[in-house]
Structure 1
């Protein structure tokens, strides 16, 4: 196969990938704008801790997708720039990515507190104090990339301020100590989050068998926590990317860049695309408020 044919295949592959990611991202962004507009327009959502945490998750996922899609476009477009400009974007993308499972755990705990302590809810879980929980989640998610990046070193011969490189985590991940730290800390991190989600799910499941009244609301809370667990599973698969890439390459025989795109789309982008649809469509109050806005947008488009 000559060079022109290879270049043609590479160009076609890049075009297909971009045409898959960008429309999905635009649809996601539209759903987010509609949902957040609904939150801002109705005070009853701002007085409920569950909806505030949901809005925070949507904002965090939007920021994560913005940074990850930018990194994706830089890589497929082979855009290179110095590490000093790349590091903040990688830090922001990593911090928001770590924040997602923390928010899922917080939302599961909020359902647990609302069911078991409806009249004696701790002050931090009230709507006017929920910012304490949100700030704590953000601080924890930032600690992980701070320590990670501080252990990393640029590759030999790479000048942080002038050498253009592809903006990928590998440019700051050349130390074996850093790799060991990331694997160990990510394992501990997700084990704690998984334990929280499993604990809340099992307790709510047991409660549904004892309660004779309001079983519908408890059952809905149980299903919500189960969805949090499914999203956490997708996040965990994204963190074991090297193992996943090896398995796919052995059984599917695809090129490395195609495998990386499949993992990026299925385990990083897709869970965040589904979040507003899953929670928005399942929640009757939110669905009823968003529907008129969606119909109005469709009428304007016509």
Structure 2
């Protein structure tokens, strides 16, 4: 979040917030179209692959709304109550952690579909998919709650009634918070990257088998590679503070522009990757979208799944 609003003129502040809100609305609208279309057709919400995709873009919409909201609030009402700020930051952190874990789950589903096609209907059931989503949320919520317990243990309860600029390290200020965050992020990223590498090379190995559907295997490989690219963009949010610390001293007169640019590149634009990587590439989903949002709505009910 851009913390340099005290140096921005009204015009600069208006332009920055307009860009953030406009991008947030556009990206959320695109994601919302795919979510709406998926939820209106049983062929999608009865399929584990699409359930994970719906969860991914819905999660991104929540994170994007909070992130853009905090950015606007930092200009309009810089200081907010710590308890409210703490809740918003925790929800933002949880949804941010959900993204890489969800990508790992989608990679595993593609691995099972290509490498174990006969077992896919039994393994990737709707019930098990929702259980996986619950586990993803639990894995993300537990570290977030640990941050709250650290505050309760080290600071007086009156701290929650005080006002602060709603930035992560203004609330979670202790070294324990930083140590916990580092350990958790390393563990999460290690698990996700190992999952992506394993599933990709297993699909690559299976694709060499003449009995395998080569087109499906190739598409699964490309999907996992794109998940890796998406994960790289998601990881930019973790290194954004270091980018700012390196660039701001080099270009002190451009501090505000640097902070705003890194904010856009690491927090806003990566949320656009989900519909581009997984939604638009899916011909079946795109066909339903065209059917629902064309003038001829009857066409949507006539579209048959492949």
TM-score of the superposed pair, with normalisation by structure 1: 0.88
Asked if 1 retains the 8 angstrom alpha-carbon contact of 2:150 and 2:176, the reply is: yes
Q: Mind listing any 5+ residue stretches in structure 1 that lack a counterpart?
A: 1-5, 298-302
Cα distance in 2 for partners of 1:119, 1:70 equals 46
Aligned pairs for 1:138-287 within 5 A: 138-152=137-151, 159-211=158-210, 213-249=212-248, 252-253=251-252, 255-287=254-286
Q: Compared with structure 1, are the counterparts of its residues 241 and 151 closer, same or farther at alpha carbon in structure 2 (3 Å cutoff)?
A: farther
Instruction: Tell me, yes or no, if structure 1 residue 39 matches structure 2 residue 38.
Output: yes
Larger relative contact order (C-alpha < 8 A, sep ≥ 6)? 2
Cα shift readout 1:114-144 (whole Å, capped 9, x = no counterpart): 1112122385521243111110001101112
TM-score of the superposed pair, with normalisation by structure 2: 0.87
Task: Point out the more displaced range, 195-204 or 180-189.
Answer: 180-189
Cα distance in 1 for partners of 2:11, 2:156 equals 33
SS class of match (1:119): coil
Q: Compared with structure 1, are the counterparts of its residues 10 and 125 closer, same or farther at alpha carbon in structure 2 (3 Å cutoff)?
A: same
SS class of match (1:81): strand
Cα distance in 2 for partners of 1:9, 1:266 equals 20
SS class of match (2:126): coil
Asked if 2 retains the 8 angstrom alpha-carbon contact of 1:34 and 1:293, the reply is: no
Q: Mind listing any 5+ residue stretches in structure 2 that lack a counterpart?
A: 297-306
Shift of 1:206: 2.3
Shift of 1:152: 4.0
> What count of residue pairs does the alignment treat as equivalent?
292
Q: Compared with structure 1, are the counterparts of its residues 117 and 12 closer, same or farther at alpha carbon in structure 2 (3 Å cutoff)?
A: same
Asked if 1 retains the 8 angstrom alpha-carbon contact of 2:223 and 2:277, the reply is: no
Cα shift readout 1:11-42 (whole Å, capped 9, x = no counterpart): 22211111211111111222222212211221
Asked if 2 retains the 8 angstrom alpha-carbon contact of 1:24 and 1:273, the reply is: no
Task: Point out the more displaced range, 130-139 or 36-45.
Answer: 36-45
